[in-house]
Amino acid sequence: MTMNDTFLKACRGEKTDYTPMWLMRQAGRYLPEYQKVRGSVSFLELCKSPELCVEVTLQPIDILGVDAAILFSDILIPMEAMGLPLEFHEGRGPVFPKTVRDRAALDRLIVPDPGETMGFVMETIRLLRKELRVPLIGFAGAPFTCATYLIEGGSSKVFWETKKMMYTAPELFHGLMEKITETTSRYLLAQARAGAQALQLFDSWAGILAPADFAEFALPYAKRIIADLQQTGLPIIYFANNGATLLEYSAASGADVIGLDWRINIGDAIKRVGNRAVQGNIDPFALLLPKEKLKERIKRLLDDAREAKGHIFNLGHGIHQFTPPEQARFAVDTVHELSSR
């Protein structure tokens, strides 16, 4: 059983026979097969059931023909392990009924042992490695993004509590970031030991920050994690969503691959990140285009990405839940066909 390692080669900037592709959120609710599994359990129960996680992680590999698998989990699993109750509400997403907004709440947070508290994730990775013929990507949320959930108590549009803490209680904010960073490093190192073959750090909310604030409050912690992970020898991907204004900083993170959202032309981004592989960056909604138009869009993106040290084709964010799976399959086939050398 040979491994298709095209994705790993592209991460390292090596020559590939074609441009590899995977999709953020490829294991998920746009697939009827996923909905079927999800019908019998809650989202958190699914995240904590290795056999079911394996099943939904494998689904898009067979259905779409992508070149990498990404572990099915959630970025907030380690935050729950730090001692905060986590709930998922339909329509509202994740909720932390107890927030971290003062020193006492911060002091109560623990830096958990990943094997003891999140062993189900490592078990999922071990099981997947027995099944997969494409590389497995492990992941975590970047500290800034995770911190916003703990401070706000869930998702937010304006991030009032987060920025208020940054600006009026910076010691408290940095204290929280320290604990989350330590937790995240340990968690990703455990994923690597369990068999993950690449690691992605998702900074979903980085784009709410001014560049100077990103440099002060978010980037140093992402950098520390990436530095810790260098010992694994695995490719590291850093994705700052809505981060076209932060590209030079992202490139300085130490990551091997810079994830790009769709708000920038990929050719311009490549000039700015320098000697790094890139991942991205078609608008997830472009998958709704008529096939001919989608093919043109993909061709243009591949042409624009020609100068990259390495290119992994992906969406600029997660696939939308109402995307027809056959459109995603068409995109994967088209990328493979147009990029074949």
Domains, the chain, with CATH or none: 6-339 (3.20.20.210)
> What gap in Å lies between CA 63 and CA 155, rounded to an integer?
31
For 320, which DSSP code?
P
* DSSP string for 31-49: SHHHHHHHTTS-HHHHHT-
CB-based contacts of 337, cutoff 8 Å, min separation 6: none
**Cβ–Cβ < 8 Å for 128, 69:** yes
Burial class (CB in 10 A: 0-12, 13-18, 19+), 51: exposed
Pairing of strands 87-89, 93-95: antiparallel
Q: Could you give the residue numbers annotated as active site? A: 25, 29, 38, 74, 149
Pairing of strands 69-70, 136-141: parallel
> What gap in Å lies between CA 19 and CA 244, rounded to an integer?
23
pLDDT of residue 1: 66
pLDDT of residue 341: 73
> What gap in Å lies between CA 88 and CA 149, rounded to an integer?
12
pLDDT of residue 2: 84
- Tell whether pTM > 0.95: yes
CB-based contacts of 108, cutoff 8 Å, min separation 6: 83
Q: Which residues pair with 77 in a beta bridge?
A: none
Tell me which residue of 118, 136, 149 sits closest to 48, measured CA to CA. Answer: 118
Burial class (CB in 10 A: 0-12, 13-18, 19+), 105: middle
For 301, which DSSP code?
H
What does each of the 341 residues of the chain score in pLDDT, given as a tens digit? 689 999 999 999 999 999 999 999 999 999 999 999 999 999 999 999 999 999 999 999 999 999 999 999 999 999 999 999 999 998 889 999 999 999 999 999 999 999 999 999 999 999 999 999 999 999 999 999 999 999 999 999 999 999 999 999 999 999 999 999 999 999 999 999 999 999 999 999 999 999 999 999 999 999 999 999 999 999 999 999 999 999 999 999 999 999 999 999 999 999 999 999 999 999 999 999 999 999 999 999 999 999 999 999 999 999 999 999 999 999 999 999 999 97
**Cβ–Cβ < 8 Å for 240, 215:** no
pLDDT of residue 79: 98
Tell me which residue of 255, 130, 133, 234 sits closest to 192, measured CA to CA. Answer: 234
CB-based contacts of 117, cutoff 8 Å, min separation 6: 81
First-residue to last-residue Cα distance in the chain: 24
Calculate ∠ Cα 106-108-114, nearest 5°.
100
Count Cα atoms within 13 angstroms, Cβ side, for 297.
22
> What gap in Å lies between CA 72 and CA 28, rounded to an integer?
8
